[in-house]
Each structure stands twice: as C-alpha cells, then as structure tokens.
Amino acid sequence: MRLVVGLGNPGEKYLMTRHNVGYMVVDKMVGGEFKREEKMKAMVCRENEVIWIKPETYMNRSGESVQRVASFYKVESEDIYVIHDDLDIRLGEYKIQKGRGPKDHNGLNNITLMLGSDEYWRVRVGVDNREDRRIIGEEYVLNRFMKNEIVIIEEVIGKVTNELVERLEITR
C-alpha cells in the first residue's frame, strides 16, 4: 500500500495558487472520486494499492491528515509520497527525493513531526519565478499562477505525473 499526498490549502480562495500545486498534481492523476473523510481530515480516494489524499487542515497542519491516514491504512513512511510546492526550485522543474526537501516548508515540517520520521518521498515541484527576490516566499506562494506560467506548470505537472505513474506502477 502506498500513500500519495497532494499538499495545498482547501477552498476556492487557493485554487491555482503556487501553494496548491500538490493538489493540482493529485487531481490530474486520480481516476476516481475523492470523498471527504472527516476523521482523517482529508479528501481521500483509494485506487487499488494507492491511497490519494488532499489534506483539509491547511498546509501548516498537513501532518495531522497524513499521520491519520498512514496509521489507519498501516502505510510505512518509505511508502509515502508528498507532492508540494518548492521555492528552492525554478518554475518548470521538479525533483523526487527521499528524506530531502526545501530549506523551509512548514507543511513538510509538520508531516515529519507527526510521522516521527523524515524518510518519506518528496515530490518537489518548482514554483519560483520571481524576478524580485524581495517578495517574501510565504506571500509569494499564495499568489495565483500568471497566465504565461500556467502553460509551464501544466507541462511540469504532466512530467511529474508520468514519472509517478512509473514509480508507483500505476496502470491507466
């Protein structure tokens, strides 16, 4: 059993924001329908041996959902993939790494705390396209993608999706 987590913030206010790129990838990959699981504080879809979730706790408390789902389904940390925005990576690029992530990401920090381990996979989707580095990252990630960036993010989401399909051995 594997758990794939798309990080983001719930609600229309956050649609198409940089911080919600995890939700965007999961939405692209899931063939089934998400169901709200109140006890798990997440939207959940189970397809064969993969459990897909979108935490509904807001980014900084994502670990609550991840820990609850992982515990319920008895998923080990090394079988968890967390898809998230990353300001250390340029828009249009991504990395998949185990136990390594951005310098500072409160969602990941909370997941590590709640799991008691950092040995889970991070699918790091680059969202940084700032020309002005004086814009604070915490504010920047809550901005929506600009029209010219949507093509770039959709392209990288396609690449991430293809690689995850291979890694997770998902048949479509």
What tens digit of pLDDT does each residue of 92-148 get?
A: 999 999 987 777 889 999 999 999 999 999 999 999 998 877 788 889 999 999 999
CATH classification of 2-167 is 3.40.640.10, yes or no? no
**Token pair recorded at residue 131:** 């020309």
Kindly report the three-state secondary structure assignment for every residue of 56-115: CCCHHHHHHHHHHHHHHHCCCHHHEEEEEEEEEEECCCEEEEECCCCCCCHHHHHHHHHH
Q: Does 60 appear as a known binding residue? A: yes
Q: What's the predicted TM-score (pTM) here?
A: 0.95
Q: Does 106 appear as a known binding residue? A: yes
Q: Does 9 appear as a known binding residue? A: no
Give the integer Cα–Cα distance in Å for 142 and 18: 6
Which pLDDT score is estimated for 134?
79
The pLDDT tens digits for 26-35 are 999 998 899 9
Residues marked as catalytic: 19
Sketch the domain layout of the chain as residue ranges. Answer: 2-167
